[in-house]
Structure 1
Amino acid sequence: MTPAELSRTVLRSVRGAVEERELSVPVPARIVVQPPPRPGCGDYASNVALQLAKPAGRPAREVAEILRKRLAGTAGIDRVEIAGPGFLNFTLGDGALVALVRDVLAQGAAYGDRSAADWPATGRASAGRPGTGARAAVVGEALERIGAAAGRTGRAGGPPALVPVPDDLATLTARLGTDETRWILLRPAAHDPVRVPERPVQREGNPRFRVQYAHARTRALVRNAGDLGFTGEPGDVGAPAAAGSGAEFRPAPASAHALHTLLATHPSVVEAAARLRAPDRLVRHLEATADAFFRWHDDCPPLPVGEQKPLAVHRARLALAEATGTVLANGLRLLGISAPEHL
């Protein structure tokens, strides 16, 4: 279940409560759901009950309880909890993770990219108009890609007001390479200065390297699985359940749900980056996705160990790794940065 699908589900619950006179409020045009501000609060959260409390003339937690009862048991939602003054926290079922992985793999390069444009693998920004500078040239080209992906062609405008860098694009590229140059120019918010390193660093302390390495790792997993004779198939990524438990798999760990949330929100991040003319939002999202992938990978190794035979859980984990690689590749392509198969 994506954030957009969850938003529509919550909206239907509000509409149902109004139609059945449990609530007397105007039905909002849309409802915002987003990842919670801290771990342990489910996969998504919404403040819809707080927004409806005043027009309903009822306490927010009372409104939240009405909606919680309506949402409990909804397909794809494992748990709905009320937190604080009336926030609704949603924990998705493992079936939602399976459906998302299947959707990402089915869409491939089109996931988060409505344009289906055949962009070059890396950016081709020129030095730009006189006075625009290296940063404006790279940001402008990235926004063209991101805007097209979000379906906002012709509406994005030029790059925002940027803190310039002293070096020209050719000098930076000669010293750092295309990928590192674009990354350092796109990563800071428009009002923040660019930190130009002396040379590119190919280690995990470099966020650009981590993102590219995460993508390369997903591709290596696919190759290694092929050598072992199996391919990915969306399914339960939790460990096999203990004998006699009555279940086939243990629930997916928190790291899997965290990765799921980042994959699910990728299209909305692309849209926000286009709307706000802020490619740094996509950069940070890719960093978070790569870091979440490594945490999940440590919790749930996708490949069999030792003499172990490939199981259904390995096929499911491989599919999640493939979906992660798809999202990372799509995001890097929109930034004009390569997604290496080997690193």
Structure 2
Amino acid sequence: MRHAAPSGRRTSGIPAWGVGDITVHRIDETVLPPETGPWLLPAATGEVVGREAWLVPDFADGRGVLRLASHSFALVAGGMRVLVDTGIGNGKPRANPAWHDLDTDYLHRLDRAGFPPESVDLVVLTHLHTDHVGWNTRADSGAWVPTFPNARYLASRTEWDFWAGHDMDGARRQMFRDSVHPIREAGLLDLVDVRDEAVGIAPGLRLLPTPGHTPGHVSVELRSRTETALITGDCIHHPVQLPHPGIGSCVDIHPARAEATRRRLLASLAGTGTLLLGTHFPPPTAGRVRPHGDAHRLVPVPPDSCAHDGE
């Protein structure tokens, strides 16, 4: 069944960007604390950040501390109502204090954007890390049940196979128990072979292989009319990595491959007009990749500057 396209976006207060006939809504979950930057991207020191004046004030503060956030993106493509990544989730026991037992109004924001959970057709998981799968499920009578009961959840087969054979610590096993296994046991999880080339999953929607952060990490490409956008997932955590692609995450499983992926991706986007939507970028969240010395920078594109109502 095709649900009505979201309407009233301009009065919903939900940030959105237009990509041809597609409107991409940012569904905010939570701002991540200042301690996140030094932990996640330890090479992004205050000195390094301070050399990139364009990062302040949107992407870093005046002391060189990075700003980061957790959110999803919701859109309609080819008549399908799509959610890309599902954040941290509410009420989940987590080792990271910033993620533990959250109580946010994420589902209310999703509803305000015109995407009540039962209306979502497709959930795309860029990878199977804790802060990207949390709203896969919600608590119901002491059990974790699928938040989006009418949706197919998509993940890379390479990603699934890696974690299935990985010796996980207790915290990650807990995350799989409460946020991944319930959707698989409900028969809602589909695995997609994404190897060396992009794979189409809906009209105007493709999964791009962007490995390194995890072995099966994918990014999401949108195409409509003559316009394109790319949702990063965690192949790029923060705009500081555009001028410094060698800065990697402390949780990259294959750091050298993650860097190679970033360099290749940024070179392919520079000057093309593609809208880059960062899964952890703080507001304004989106921008276009431009040459910057011998590397790149992000030119911000504020919400609503090119968006429209509905599909």
TM-score relative to the length of structure 2: 0.25
Greater share of residues in helix: 1
